[in-house]
Amino acid sequence: MPRPVHAVDFMARLADIKRENSHYITNLFKWSPEVRNLVEQGALFFSETPGCILVGIPVRNAFIRLYYCATAANRLSKALGIFCQAHAVSLPLICDIIGREASVRKSAAIFLHNGFSVRRRLRRVEATESRRFVDMESSAEFAKTEDAEKIAEILGKEFDIYLELPSAEELQQWLARREGILIRKGRNIIALHLFSIRGRCLHGRFAWVNEAYRRTPAFLELNAMLLRILRERRIVRVYGWRDEARSLRACPALGEKPEDMVDYIMLREGKA
């Protein structure tokens, strides 16, 4: 059965797999404070088989996000089968598989074989020189840390529950680094763009405009503020993620170029 594990055990097993095969496969790319705290509290599921570890992290009592690290695809396949047979709770399992498309498809096939379905396919895009960053007056401003509660409410309401939304601590850190802009109407937030800046690259995270204001210049004003940030911080590359099923066709018109980097969001429904 999946069982609790503490930080020392978890990190030791992760290191063992990485030493065994330098070409290991994983979706555990970051070690966030929230994940670290959950590991230290033992508030997660942990399953270990030869050459693979699986970690399940409960999210908002709504589903369990699954992370894996394996020396090879066959090791992942065996471990996942064991984990799913032992997984008896009613919460759904969600797993993001991120990487080059050919590699992601191979890993996704393993999950499909074990009762998962592809909920969404996201593809990374890069803004080209034709991207319409408008140079205009803008009422957009940097979000403040005291806006975090309202922003978290918007993210939880307006975005897919199964996306990897930031924890309260992560959101505070983003806003403290001035990695969020918004437009206000009175006391309400009507438009929002969260992003990260690493070196001279900007990575879009979440962008939203209140439905009542989508025929107003709100989106253009966000872009105008973003243009100012790009200039001030000398950003040379801008990336984002687009849903293949809904918005990828609009990329050329938006001045965006799809890349060979995808995120398959895999879902396994919980047991009744």
User: What CATH number has the domain bearing residue 171?
Assistant: 3.40.630.30
In a domain, 2, yes or no: no
β partners of residue 180: 194
Q: Are residues 72 and 138 in the same domain?
A: no
Q: Which regions in the chain score pLDDT beneath 50?
A: 1-2, 130
Q: Are residues 79 and 40 in the same domain?
A: yes
pTM: 0.83
In a domain, 1, yes or no: no
In a domain, 165, yes or no: yes
Q: Are residues 89 and 140 in the same domain?
A: no
Q: Are residues 112 and 225 in the same domain?
A: no
Spatial CA neighbour of 206 closest among 193, 222, 219: 193
In a domain, 103, yes or no: yes
Q: What is the pLDDT of residue 188?
A: 95
Spatial CA neighbour of 201 closest among 229, 227, 236, 232: 236
Q: Are residues 116 and 144 in the same domain?
A: no
- In sequence order, the 6+-apart residues with CB closer than 8 A to the CB of 21 are 51, 71, 72
Q: Are residues 97 and 186 in the same domain?
A: no
In a domain, 150, yes or no: yes
Q: Are residues 244 and 144 in the same domain?
A: yes
Report the number of distinct structural domains present in the chain: 2
Q: What is the pLDDT of residue 249?
A: 58
Q: Are residues 141 and 205 in the same domain?
A: yes
Given a contact cutoff of 8 angstroms between Cβ atoms, the answer to whether 235 and 202 are in contact is yes
Q: Are residues 117 and 148 in the same domain?
A: no
- Residue range of the domain that includes 28: 7-123+263-268
Q: Are residues 64 and 115 in the same domain?
A: yes
Q: Report d(CA 148, CA 97) in Å as an integer.
A: 28
Q: What is the pLDDT of residue 2?
A: 45
Q: What is the pLDDT of residue 1?
A: 41
In a domain, 195, yes or no: yes
Q: Are residues 86 and 11 in the same domain?
A: yes
- CATH code of the domain covering residue 76: 3.40.630
Q: Are residues 99 and 192 in the same domain?
A: no
Burial letters for 150-185: b for 16+ Cβ neighbours within 10 Å, e otherwise?
A: bbbebbeeeeeebbbbbbeebbebbbeeebbbbbee
Backbone torsions φ then ψ of 194, nearest 5 degrees:
-105, 140
